[in-house]
Amino acid sequence: MKTKLNKYLFLILLVGAFSCKKDTVEPTTTTTGTTTGTTTNPNAAANSWVYDQLKEWYLWSDKLPSKDKTNLNLVTGKDGESDITKYYFYSLLNDYPNTDRFSWIRENIADLTASLSGVSTSFGFSRSAVYLDNTQTNVVFFISNVTTNSPADKAGLKRGDIVLTINGTQINGTNYVTLISNNEIATFGLAEYKNNTYVLSGKTITATKAVVQNDPVQYWKVIEKGNKKIGYLLYTQFLGAYDDKLKQVFAEFKTKGINELVLDLRINGGGLISTADLLSSLIVKNPNTNNVIHQDEWNANIKAKYPSVATPAKFTIQASNLNLNRLVVLTSNGTASASELIINSLRPYMEVVIVGQNTYGKNVGSITIKDETSPARWAWGMQPIVLRTVNSKGESAYGTKTGFTPDYLVSDNVYPFKPWGDESETLLKKALEVITGVVIPAEATANRSFRTMSTKLLEQNISDNPEDNNKDMFVTFPK
């Protein structure tokens, strides 16, 4: 979504946490104090600023209480004094965490914007955490993804690895989060399946956290099955900086004559809406610049102040457009925001088949708000929901906790995970069967290393840095 105050960028991340955002909106900041006079509470001015910004931009601004009905002079927040402004922010949200489970705030605007740009300080891997057995004591990590060139990648960790210990400590239901978050250096004890359980293999991998830049165009290939040339793309985040690389991959697909596409969005929590619009234009059948991708709904104040927000996003002509009849999308509960926008936007124009699990259910987008005073009075950064998207038919019914329901329900619970693009990998195997109409035989039962876990799943495809798990779709206003 482009912006000149006529157009705006939309970023869908589901920055899974994760939600829908604008590129980076730079709204005007109004400096205000409290409505009750002078106060010694150092958080009152920041709280007042939070209220004023939400009153102007928030999609549900009409649901906000009057400022004098709120407690600007909070003395303590949920987690202590440093949490006061964050606590105040969440206290204002509309029916949080139900109707609005997406708006978020971060104490440091630099960290917030870095996260939206795919930058984090982390080991650089995602994992599914599962109890080993029904006693629900010990936990095993199944590594679901490793970011290219991250510390984990350079140390040799890969998708499909199994981790049982961290720094010599057995992972369990109490420490499975803190063993990662509390350690800058970690030695991962790898496991293997033996005697009907997972045990240490004797192999370890050591990595040190560092600044990691996500390259979302992570893996692609062409699979030939009979008269089908199938492009497979694992795409992990909608980042504008990688738009050219995305175009290059589609140019390669077009050169190789693919006639089907499998778009793997199961670990894509969203990102920039303008990049989602580009991807839609690369895929759509019979692209037409008069056809609407999506329309965005804002609060009455913003619609009056910036009438151009009512201008719908439309398809662009891309040299590497594939002009496909059908798109197959691989999904999980982590498929959010901009990823879901792709599904909703393309359905009026072509067949979109969903294989996997229910998506996250985020049909709303956000903008980035920071203090524009010079020098800034505080480092807080907010990402409030400011818009709702609807497709060219006015449809937007997926914004619930059940999201989109898959056409083919396939659980991603066969462990360890197989490499991306492996034709026997659970979701890709089903997608290939849907495309070709030919059932791919199951693996020989003698291969007992792959198991369907029936024990409790604690987390699915969660990054080792919890702040990377926002699900976001956002846009940016120019100054």
pLDDT at position 77:
59
pLDDT at position 448:
53
By three-state DSSP, how is residue 226 classified? coil
Instruction: Name the nearest CA neighbour of 423 among 206, 230, 164.
Output: 230
Compute the chain's Rg from CA coordinates.
Answer: 23
Contact of 97 with 78, CB cutoff 8 Å: no
In the chain, where the domains are located: 121-213
Distance CA 77, CA 61 (A): 23
The architecture of the domain spanning 121-213 is Roll (2.30)
pLDDT at position 465:
82
CA quadruple 213, 230, 431, 362: dihedral sign: positive
Instruction: Name the nearest CA neighbour of 378 among 86, 182, 21.
Output: 86
Q: State the first-to-last Cα distance of the chain, in angstroms, to the nearest integer.
A: 16
Residue 133 CB partners (closer than 8 Å, separation 6+):
197, 455
Contact of 103 with 384, CB cutoff 8 Å: yes
Question: Per this entry, what is the length of the chain?
Answer: 479
Distance CA 144, CA 374 (A): 44
Contact of 417 with 142, CB cutoff 8 Å: yes
pLDDT at position 373:
94
- Cα-based angle 352, 354, 360 (whole degrees, multiple of 5): 115
Give me the residues of the chain with pLDDT under 70, please: 1-40, 75-82, 443-449, 467, 477-479
Pairing label, strands 385-391, 292-297: antiparallel
| Predicted model pTM | 0.90
pLDDT at position 196:
86
pLDDT at position 76:
62
Contact of 276 with 12, CB cutoff 8 Å: yes
Token pair belonging to 367: 């903008």
**229-256 confidence digits (pLDDT tens):** 999 999 999 999 999 999 999 999 999 9
Amino acid making up residue 8 = Y
Residue 399 CB partners (closer than 8 Å, separation 6+):
361, 362, 363, 364, 388
Which residues in 303-428 belong to E strands, given as ranges? 313-314, 326-331, 351-356, 364-366, 369-370, 381-383, 385-391, 408-409, 414-415
Give residue for tokens 């709303």: 364
Contact of 298 with 61, CB cutoff 8 Å: no
